[in-house]
Structure 1
Amino acid sequence: MKIYHGRKFDLEVEKVTLPNGVERELEIVKHRGSAAILPMISNDEMILIRQYRPVIGKYIYEIPAGSVEEGEDVEITARRELEEEVGYQAETMEKVLSFYPSPGITNEEMHLFLAQGLKYVGARPEPYEIIEPIKVKVNEALSMIERKEIVDAKTIIGIYFISRRVM
């Protein structure tokens, strides 16, 4: 049963039968998916964003990301978000990983892209996005995770992924 229909997701309540035969009612956030981008300036330098997140009431460091729009290919989403949020176009956009950020409540699948050959064209964030792009070395990003300055899951996954590629 659909409870809510929104621009980015729907909320549904479904009765499911688990593999062990137990029936359960689930509240499920149905999501079209999303793209997250690792914008690499060089082999050891990347772009993060410092973004205000009103849901948690503070600024956090993240990699650029956004929701897939109706009928949109996920690579198009990645390219759109890279340009909107940090102002770059990528010569190459390689899908390197897909994962479920919160499979206990949502079917959202997030796709991680590696963006290289960057060309600055000017950022165009949405009016409700408060974003400051910053350039950071991969080693410094790893240190930011250790110091608990980076707390966003997709960003932690992306930084650890790229650190294994470049080190």
Structure 2
Amino acid sequence: MKIYNGRKFSLEVEKVTLPNGFERELEIIKHRGSAAILPLIGEDEIILIKQYRPVIGKYIFEIPAGSVEDGEDVFTTARRELEEEIGYQAEELDEVLSFYPSPGITNEEMHLFLAKGLRYVGAKPEPYEIIEPVKVKIQDALAMVERRDIVDAKTIIAIYFIARKQT
């Protein structure tokens, strides 16, 4: 049963039968999916965004990301979000992994892209996005995670991914 149908997701209540035969009613946030982009400059620098998140009432550091729009594939989403949020186009855009950010409540699958060969064309953030791009050395980003200056899950995954690639 659909409870809510919004622009980015819907909230539904479904009865499911688990593999052990147990039946359960679930509240599920159904989501079209999302793309997150790790913009790499040279070999050792990335671009993060400092973004105000009204749901938690504070600024946090993140990588650019956004929801898949109707009729869009994840590559198109990644290219659109990269340009909108930080103003870059990528010569190379490779999907490096995908994951479920919160599988206990949503079916959202997030696709992580690595963007290389960046060319600045000008940012076009949405009016409701309060964003400041910040260039950070990968080692400094790791230190920010360890100090808990970076608390966003997709960003932590992306930073550990790129740091591991360098070793």
The interval holding the TM-score normalised by the smaller chain is: over 0.9
Q: How many angstroms apart in 2 are the aligned matches of 1:76 and 1:131?
A: 21
1:128 aligns with 2:90: no
Name the counterpart of 1:18: 18
Q: How many angstroms apart in 2 are the aligned matches of 1:141 and 1:107?
A: 29
Name the counterpart of 2:150: 150
RMSD of the alignment, in Å?
0.4
Q: How many angstroms apart in 2 are the aligned matches of 1:41 and 1:134?
A: 12
User: How far 1:42 moved relative to its partner?
Assistant: 1.1
Q: What is the CA deviation profile of residues 70-111 of structure 1, one whole-angstrom value per residue up to 9, with x for unaligned ones?
A: 110100000000000000000000000000000000000000
Q: What is the CA deviation profile of residues 46-84 of structure 1, one whole-angstrom value per residue up to 9, with x for unaligned ones?
A: 000000000000000000000000110100000000000
Q: How many angstroms apart in 2 are the aligned matches of 1:42 and 1:62?
A: 19
Letter in 1 for 2:88: Y
User: How far 1:113 moved relative to its partner?
Assistant: 0.1
SS where residue 105 of structure 1 aligns?
coil
Q: How many angstroms apart in 2 are the aligned matches of 1:65 and 1:43?
A: 21
Question: Percent of pairs identical after alignment?
Answer: 80
1:95 aligns with 2:95: yes
1:78 aligns with 2:68: no
Shift >4 Å, 4+ stretches: none
Name the counterpart of 1:51: 51
Q: Taking structure 2 as the reference length, what is the TM-score of the superposition?
A: 0.99
User: How far 1:166 moved relative to its partner?
Assistant: 1.7
* Length, aligned pairs only: 167
Q: How many angstroms apart in 2 are the aligned matches of 1:11 and 1:78?
A: 25
Q: How many angstroms apart in 1 are the aligned matches of 2:104 and 2:42?
A: 36
SS where residue 154 of structure 2 aligns?
helix
User: How far 1:43 moved relative to its partner?
Assistant: 1.1
Q: How many angstroms apart in 2 are the aligned matches of 1:43 and 1:76?
A: 25
Letter in 1 for 2:119: K
Name the counterpart of 2:6: 6
SS where residue 98 of structure 1 aligns?
strand
SS where residue 55 of structure 2 aligns?
coil
